[in-house]
């Protein structure tokens, strides 16, 4: 997959759904630059849904360039390192953000 839009829309297939049991979360990805956009991800006790656009009342907002988000999804950029160096900005429930890192297959 060559663009972040395809990767984000494919998140339900990239996440271990068994690990989402008991998790109810609303995430907002706000990506800038070429290929960027707004995506909401809803995790609801074993189900994951992706919606283009902004979600009402997200618990966690992730802001990054589309380029850096793509590198993170491809395992070319460490997400914690990207956060520490300001390449990724997170607002909201930080504990939820750490928990979500563990969901990727």
How many angstroms separate the CA atoms of 59 and 26, rounded? 5
Q: What's the CATH number where 17 sits?
A: 3.30.1050.10
Q: What is the CA 26 to chain-centroid distance, rounded? A: 10
> 24-32 and 60-65 as β-strands: parallel, antiparallel, unpaired?
parallel
Q: Collapse the DSSP code of 7 into the 3-class scheme (helix H, G, I; strand E, B; otherwise coil) and give the result.
A: helix
* pLDDT tens digit sequence for 28-70: 999 999 999 999 999 999 999 999 999 999 999 999 999 999 9
Token pair of 67, please? 């380029």
In a domain, 59, yes or no: yes
- What is the domain extent for residue 18? 4-99
Residue 1: predicted pLDDT: 57
pTM for this prediction: 0.89
- Domain total in the chain: 1
Q: Where are the alpha helices (DSSP H) in the chain?
A: 4-9, 11-14, 66-73, 79-84, 94-101
Residue 16: predicted pLDDT: 86
In a domain, 50, yes or no: yes
In a domain, 74, yes or no: yes
In a domain, 77, yes or no: yes
Residue with the two structure tokens 């750490």: 98
In a domain, 71, yes or no: yes
């Amino acid at each position: 997959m060559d663009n972040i839009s395809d990767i984000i829309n494919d998140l339900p297939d990239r996440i271990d759904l068994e690990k989402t049991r008991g998790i109810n979360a609303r995430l907002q990805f706000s990506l800038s630059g070429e290929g960027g956009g707004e995506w909401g991800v809803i995790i609801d006790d074993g189900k994951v849904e992706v919606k283009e656009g902004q979600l009402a009342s997200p618990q966690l907002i992730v802001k990054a360039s589309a380029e850096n988000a793509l590198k993170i999804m491809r395992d070319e950029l460490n997400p914690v390192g990207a956060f520490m160096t300001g390449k990724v900005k997170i607002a909201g429930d930080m504990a939820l953000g750490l928990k979500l890192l563990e969901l990727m297959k």
